[in-house]
Amino acid sequence: MSKGKPQGVNEFPLTEVTARKIVNDLAENHTGRIIWSRHVKERMIERGVTAGQILTLLKSKRSVFREGPYEEPNGNWKFNLKGMAAGKVIELTVALKNHHDDPKSILVTVWID
């Protein structure tokens, strides 16, 4: 993927491989397209998870899909990623918007396993 505008992928249904490529690119090159929900910010404080840990998880090629990706009625694709970051096993719920032409991700919630 590129450093300019993130590239969309015209795929249905969205696969784990493609979802990982998109979130890896967003975390590496387009962090402004990652939307941090109020809920995820509250859970980060409550559970002692840092933004750096979440970005590490999003960048990782070793994180595991625990659920999804599955399409929601609003057209977003939701999935859970689980992996290790700074010594903690964390799981993150992500909603991917407009994966086909203008990808953005919304971080929904996070917890420690």
pLDDT digits (tens, 9 = 90+) for 68-78: 999 999 999 99
Domain boundaries, the chain: 16-112
Residues 6+ apart with CB under 8 A from 53: 85, 86, 88, 90
pLDDT for the residue 62: 94
Look at residue 2 and tell me whether its pLDDT is greater than 60: no
pLDDT for the residue 5: 76
- Cβ atoms < 10 Å from Cβ of 85: 20
**Dist CA 110 CA 102 (whole Å):** 24
Residues 6+ apart with CB under 8 A from 15: 69
pLDDT for the residue 1: 45
pLDDT digits (tens, 9 = 90+) for 76-103: 999 999 999 999 999 999 999 998 888 9
pLDDT digits (tens, 9 = 90+) for 19-52: 999 999 999 999 999 999 999 999 999 999 999 9
The pTM score is: 0.90
Q: Which fold has domain 16-112?
A: YaeB-like fold (3.30.2310)
